[in-house]
């Protein structure tokens, strides 16, 4: 978890916002596909289906309004995301195992994935309070991300196809490294308790969020 946040930050230094999100989608598709495949027996497909419906709805709306991403807005949106993972459980009781919540997760997180490139922290609050174990959470989220990143890449397909030959090397290099990272992450996951998993997720996402906020302020001023 949170690897996509780091990757997008790097890509925003190399490409335009649209191209960065598109490339991010391709690389994260391969990473999450390998993660989902490794943990496929833990995927809760009923949740995946409902969230996917919400993602498609959000993508349709953004397509109709001809949305264009902005690096400053992306930095501030992602920088403020960590607030979500520190929200007290009694304040917002979201549960991806509930149909309406799963659809809402797909719509909001799917829209954010396309608009800002990532939505991991938002998706997390729909899963962190479920009765699912860490392996079910990671596997189900990976399956959802496979679909959402594919949709995101299609949304920015023109920007993706306009990449130069030299820029394609970034993708060819990053995709296999992302898969290797996924395997290493899966090994670490197996040695964490559910409590430690949640604690480390919050800490890592918050640290990355601060970096994005600093970048957003730098770009703005």
Residues 6 and 124 sit within 8 Å (Cβ to Cβ): no
Q: Of 53, 72, 69, 67, which is closest to residue 17 (Cα–Cα)?
A: 69
Cβ atoms within 10 Å of 168's Cβ, excluding its own: 11
Residues 133 and 189 sit within 8 Å (Cβ to Cβ): no
Residues 39 and 139 sit within 8 Å (Cβ to Cβ): yes
pLDDT tens string 101-154? 899 989 998 898 999 888 877 787 788 777 788 788 889 988 998 999 999 999
Q: Of 51, 162, 157, 198, which is closest to residue 112 (Cα–Cα)?
A: 51
Q: Measured between alpha carbons, how far is 201 from 160 in angstroms, rounded to an integer?
A: 30
Give the Cα-Cα-Cα angle 58, 130, 103 (nearest 5 degrees).
Answer: 20
In order of 7, 55, 128, 131, 194, the CA distances from 26 in angstroms are 12, 17, 26, 31, 30
- At 14 the pLDDT is 85
Alpha helices for 65-118 (secondary structure H): 71-80, 82-85, 99-116
Q: Of 73, 86, 30, 87, which is closest to residue 205 (Cα–Cα)?
A: 86
Residues 26 and 160 sit within 8 Å (Cβ to Cβ): yes
CB-based contacts of 35, cutoff 8 Å, min separation 6: 138, 139, 142, 182, 185, 186
- At 89 the pLDDT is 64
Per-residue pLDDT of the chain (221 residues; tens, 9 = 90+): 567 788 888 888 888 889 889 888 888 888 788 888 988 899 999 999 999 999 999 999 999 999 999 889 888 888 887 777 677 766 767 878 888 989 998 999 889 899 988 887 778 778 877 778 878 888 998 899 899 999 999 999 988 888 877 777 777 777 777 777 767 777 777 777 777 777 777 788 788 888 888 988 988 88
Cβ atoms within 10 Å of 60's Cβ, excluding its own: 9
Residues 156 and 16 sit within 8 Å (Cβ to Cβ): no
- At 46 the pLDDT is 92
For the chain, domain boundaries? 3-220
């Amino acid at each position: 978890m949170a690897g996509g946040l780091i990757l997008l930050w790097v890509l925003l230094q190399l490409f335009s916002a649209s191209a960065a999100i598109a490339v991010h989608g391709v690389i994260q598709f391969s990473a999450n596909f390998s993660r989902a495949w490794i943990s496929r027996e833990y995927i809760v497909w009923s949740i995946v289906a409902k969230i996917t419906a919400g993602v498609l709805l959000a993508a349709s709306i953004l397509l109709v309004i001809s949305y264009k991403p902005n690096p400053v807005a992306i930095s501030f949106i992602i920088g403020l995301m960590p607030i979500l993972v520190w929200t007290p459980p009694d304040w917002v009781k979201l549960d991806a195992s509930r149909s309406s919540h799963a659809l809402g997760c797909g719509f909001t997180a799917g829209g954010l994935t396309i608009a800002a490139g990532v939505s991991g922290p938002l998706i997390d609050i729909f899963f962190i309070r479920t009765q699912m174990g860490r392996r079910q959470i990671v596997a189900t989220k990976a399956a959802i991300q496979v679909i959402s990143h594919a949709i995101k890449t299609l949304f920015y397909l023109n920007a993706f196809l306009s990449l130069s030959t030299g820029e394609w090397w970034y993708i060819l290099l990053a995709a296999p490294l992302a898969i290797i990272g996924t395997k290493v992450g899966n090994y670490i996951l197996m040695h964490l308790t559910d409590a430690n998993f949640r604690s480390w997720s919050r800490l890592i996402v918050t640290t990355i969020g601060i970096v994005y906020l600093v970048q957003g302020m730098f770009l703005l001023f």
